[in-house]
Structure formats: structure tokens, C-alpha cells
Amino acid sequence: MTPPRPTSWTLAGLALPAVIGLPLAAGLAGVVAPAFGVHPGLGATRPTFDVLAGLLTDPSFGRALALSVMSGLGASLLAVAAAFGFCALAAPTRWFARVRPALAAGLALPHASFAVGLAFLVAPSGFIARAVSPELTGWREPPDFLLVGDPWAVSLLAALALKETLFLILMITAALGQFPAESLLRTARSLGYRPLRGWLMAVAPQAYRRVRLPVYAVIASSLGSVDLALVLGPSSPPPLAPLLLRWFTDFDPLLQQRAAAGALVLLAATLLAILAWRLGERGIAAFARVRLLDGDRGGGALDRAVGAGAGGIVGLSLAVSTGALIVLALWSVAAAWPWPEALPRGWTLAQWGAAWPTILRLAGDTLLVAALSTAVALALAIAALEARPPRPDAAIDAVVLTPLLLPQAGFLFGVQVMWSALRWDGAIAAVVCTHLLFVGPYVYLALRDPFHALDPRLARSARSLGKSRLVTLLQVKLPLLLRPLLTATAIGLTVSVTLYLPTIIAGAGRVTTLATETIALSAGGDRRLLGVVAITLAALPFAALRLALGLGAWAARRRRGLAA
């Protein structure tokens, strides 16, 4: 093999930004143009505000937007507060390291499985009510509470917060490795600060800077949540993102255009929410400056409340995730299970047997899409990181990471227009390329810092031994980065397996995965089949995570000096 010339490296490095940036640009164009009534194909080239005006007069629009903003921002606030509160509580203690695998496992539980499991748990006819009825409650029939799908989306907000808290804790944990967090905490404590207060004051602000991107990603994904909103959100009207999905599939072209305008509004609302958050950050920083000058060393009621609240939310999140898995597993092997019996009347593997061919097909497609998108993402991310100078390249970062900062419903409809124009709709390739928009950024993020942290002298000495750049990459750098590569693979697979909206849109009904099937079965139909599908869905990311951890640990035992 001839050593690649520098130009080919530059080109290879641009592949990742290209496969993300081009569909993204097409997606935004495919939303903006129809939102202003521009349809070149139909000869309409003059922009008008008619479509936006129609959106504003739509009876469901105002409320749907308000629901999205309230549940999205509320959940983000709660998740950020709980994640930092929990880290302040736990990071100074020895059990922080021990609870991390549980947090990672909880995070690996896909949103769809989490949502249906949660609904099975807490609905008035759900598992908890069954367990205590009628003995404790006297309920002969399920009480008429509006707990799941309440009109103010409170249950959606709570579920989003529970799910995103775990994500943020793991992001914070990763950030803590990037600066001397332990020494800073020790210094604050030697000045007399209690651990929780000391962590919040000396460590949290520096950690926050490093998790800003994940925090903004949480805001965007919460505002644009579709899968959780379909299961746990209100239905009349639903929040904006699921409402847009409904409009897009309507055969009334007016509603389809309205959906484009709504997508534009959702994008704008998300960007405004992030902007408002940014301003809020300054406010909190200013407040903290005043606060921290008072010399209070902590340990008071406020600290106890922060610790108890955050610990409670994290505990609840883990408990709900575990409970969701258990109740899904119970349904998957239940014979008849009428209200209000706490347990099924009998056990059977009949639904597993009956669903087996379907499950195999769904799991096969799910894994095929996940494996292809992760493999492509890994190759392109490595090329992008290898091709550029040692410092992070802001322009590439901006393009690659943008999909994480936008609500999916804000641009995916436009992306689909492009696949359709290429007559690619419903093909596995289109689904893989659409997944790449989300798998790519996460894989890139997982590899970026370890790649840059690798001592450049290692590669230099390999080159001075006469090895080409490619050989050095393949034989020196990548093997040294084995553990981050394994982690990135597990993250990529998990992201892909979990994706709902991108699969639904690009799959066009011909590519269905465990995630889309779980949501499809969530509202009606046989709960036992739903249990089978949702459990299988939950098993895949968990297996990927275990495998990555196991292989990583095995490699680490053989070679202790590998990058973590």
C-alpha cells in the first residue's frame, strides 16, 4: 500500500462533516422553503407568510408549543439540578465509583422501553396500583386519575428529567477527569468547606463548562421529544413535535406545509430556549458570586435539601428503570393478568414463541442498521480526528455536533425529502445515513478527547521508525485507543438502537426496528407482545455496553498502560 498523500487525508477528514452537514443543510432547506410557501416543483417560488399565518391560527399550535417549551425546559432544569446535586453529594465519597455502573446501565435503557415500562408502573391500572389494590386502597376498579398523559405534560416532564439526569451525571463524571477536580475539592475542604458545598463551589462551575454541550443537547432533545411524548405526553393537543409528526402524515397538503412551518418554529423555540438558558447561566453565576463571598462553609438545611432532592431523583430514576424492566418482563411471560391482581394468573412462554420470528427479524434489522451506522461513524470520525491538526478544529466540531443541538423533528422531515428525491426512501441505506446524523456526533465526541490526549511522541517515534501515517494509525494509535474505541462503539450502537423518529421517517414503513415497534404497540394491542418487544429492545444496548466494558477490562489486564 502506498502511503496516502496529505491531500487524501484532508479529504478523508472532511467525510464526517460532509455526511452530517449535507443532509442537515438539505433538511433545513426542506423545512424553511415550504414554511414560506416556496415549492419550486409546483412553480411556487415567491415566499409568502400564508403558511406561518395558518400555523398561528391553528387551534392546537399555541398550546402544543407551550407544552413543548414547558416540559422541555422544565425537564432540563430539573435534570441539570439533580445531576449536579447528585455529583456534589456523591463525588466526594467512596461510593461514587461504585454507583457508576448502575447509572450507566440505567442510561442504556432505551427511552421507548423506559416510557412504556413507566406507564405500566404508574398508570391507575398499572403495576403499583395493582400491587396495593384492593387491599390497601379499596379500589375495586382503577381510580380515574390523569397520571399518564396529563394535559400539562407533567408526567412527560418528570420522565424526561429522570432519564436525562443519568445522562448528565455520566457526562459530568467524564468531565471530572479533564481537570484536577479532586485537588480542587481537597483545597476547598482544607479551607473549611463541607464536601457538598465545596464541590458545588470549587468543582461544579468548571465541570459545567465542560458539559455545556450535553446540557444544550438535553434541552434540544427534551423540547423535541417524540417517543416519550407519544407514550407519556398529553394527546389533545400533544406537544409540538408529535403534533408535527401527525401533520406531516396527513394527506391534506395544507397541514403538511403547516408542519414545515411548525418545524421552523420548533427550531426557533429550541434555539431561543438555549439562548435563554445561556442568559440564565450568567444570572446563576452572578448569584453564586454573591453567595460564595459570604464564607458559609455549608452543612446547613440548604445543603441537606440539595443532597436529599438530588439523591432522591437519582434513586427514583434507577428505581423506575429497574421497575420498568421488571414489569415488562412480567408482562412478557404473563398468561392472563386482569385488574386488580398483583401478579399474572399464570406464566407462559407462548408470546415469546409466537413472536419469535418477528423478534428475530426486528432485532436483525435493528442490529444491521446499528452496526452499519456505527462502523461508518467510527471510520469517518477516526479519519476526521487523524486528518486535522492536533488542536480541536472548531469548524469541524460545529458541523459535526450541530444535529445534537437541534430538535429532531425540526429538520428530519426535510432530510426525508432529499432521500425521497434520490428515490432512496425506505431503503436500509437511507435509514443508516439518517442514523449517522446522530450516531456520528456521539461517536466523534467519545473519541475526540482520548484521541487528542494521546501523547504525540508515540506516533512520532513510530513515524521515525519508518512507518507510514496509515500504518502508524492502524498499528500504534488505534490499538492504544482500544478502550475509547470500544466505548465509542457501545455508544454508537446504543444511540442507533434507541433512535425512534429518524427510523420512522427514513424507514418509510419498510424498515422497522425494535424501537419503532415498541412505540407502535405502546398505546393499544397486546401488552404481552409489547413486553416481549420492549424487553428485547432493552437487552441490546445493555449487551453492547457489557461487551465493551468486558473487552476493555480484558485489554486493560493484558496491557496496563492503555488509555482509559
Partner 1 sequence: MAPLTRRTLLAAAPAGAAAGVLAACRPASPAADAPPLDWPGVERAARGQTVRWSAWAGDQKINAFIEWVGQEVSAAHGIRLEHLKTDDPSSGVTRLRADKTAGRSDGGAIDLLWINGENFAAARAQNLLYGPFAERLPNFRFVDRIGKPSTVRDFTLPTDGYESPWGMAQITFFHDAARLPAPPRSVPALLDWAKTRRGRFTYPAPGDFVGVSFLKQVLSELIADRAVLAAPVEPARFAAQTAPLWAYLDALHPHLWRSGRAFPPDYPGLMRLLEDTEVDLAFAFNPAEAATAVAAGRLPTTTRAFTFEGGTIANTHFVAIPFNATAKAAAMVVANVLLSPRAQARKADPAIWGDPTVLALDSLAPAERAAFDTLAANAALPSAGDLARTLPEPHPTWHIALGQAWRARYAA
Partner 2 sequence: MTTAATGLMLSNVKIAVDGLRLLDGFSCAIAPGETLTLMGPSGVGKSSLLAYVAGALPETFVAEGVVSLDGRRIDHLPIEARRVGVLYQDDLLFAHMSVGENLAFATPAGLSRVERQARVRRALDLAELSGFERRDPATLSGGQKARVALMRALLAEPKALLLDEPFSKLDPELRARTRAFTFAQIAERSIPTLLVTHDPADAPGAILPFP
Dist. CA 198–CA 92, nearest whole Å: 9
**Could you tell me the three cell numbers for 419?**
432521500
**Could you tell me the three cell numbers for 374?**
456505527
Q: Is 180 in the site for partner 2 (CB under 8 A)?
A: yes
Q: Quick check: 297 and 192 in contact, CB under 8 A?
A: yes
**Which CB sits closer to partner 2, 191 or 458?**
191
Dist. CA 317–CA 54, nearest whole Å: 41
Residues in contact with partner 2, counted by CB under 8 A, come to a total of 28
**Could you tell me the three cell numbers for 317?**
430514576
| Residue 262 binds which of partner 1, partner 2, none (CB < 5-8 A, kind-dependent) | none
Residue 498, CA distances (Å) to 116, 211, 352, 429, 513 in order: 14, 22, 22, 18, 9
**Which CB sits closer to partner 2, 98 or 361?**
98
| Residue 314 binds which of partner 2, partner 1, none (CB < 5-8 A, kind-dependent) | none
The CA angle 491-497-503, to the nearest 5 degrees, is 125
Write the single-letter amino acid at 196.
Answer: L
| Residue 188 binds which of partner 1, partner 2, none (CB < 5-8 A, kind-dependent) | partner 2
Backbone torsions φ then ψ of 334, nearest 5 degrees? -85, 145
Q: Is 456 in the site for partner 2 (CB under 8 A)?
A: no
Q: Is 202 in the site for partner 2 (CB under 8 A)?
A: yes
Which residues in the 84-103 window bind partner 2 by CB under 8 A? 94
**Which CB sits closer to partner 2, 53 or 285?**
285
**Which CB sits closer to partner 2, 46 or 557?**
557
Site string for partner 2, 203-242 (x = CB under 8 A): --xx--x---------------------------------
Q: Is 10 in the site for partner 2 (CB under 8 A)?
A: no
Q: Is 183 in the site for partner 2 (CB under 8 A)?
A: yes
Site string for partner 2, 267-306 (x = CB under 8 A): ----------------------x--xxxxxx---------
**Which CB sits closer to partner 1, 335 or 553?**
335
| Residue 504 binds which of partner 1, partner 2, none (CB < 5-8 A, kind-dependent) | partner 1
| Nearest residue to 166 (alpha-carbon basis) of 232, 227, 78, 226 | 78
Q: Using CA of residue 484, residue 490, residue 493, residue 495, what is the dihedral sign? A: negative
| Nearest residue to 366 (alpha-carbon basis) of 197, 538, 227, 249 | 538
| Residue 205 binds which of partner 2, partner 1, none (CB < 5-8 A, kind-dependent) | partner 2
Dist. CA 221–CA 406, nearest whole Å: 7
| Nearest residue to 497 (alpha-carbon basis) of 409, 411, 438 | 438
Cell 416540559 identifies what position?
71
Q: Is 196 in the site for partner 2 (CB under 8 A)?
A: no
| Residue 201 binds which of partner 1, partner 2, none (CB < 5-8 A, kind-dependent) | partner 2
Q: Which residues, in sequence order, are bridge partners of residue 39?
A: 44
What residues line the site for partner 2 (CB under 8 A)? 94, 179-180, 183-184, 186-195, 198, 201-202, 205-206, 209, 289, 292-297
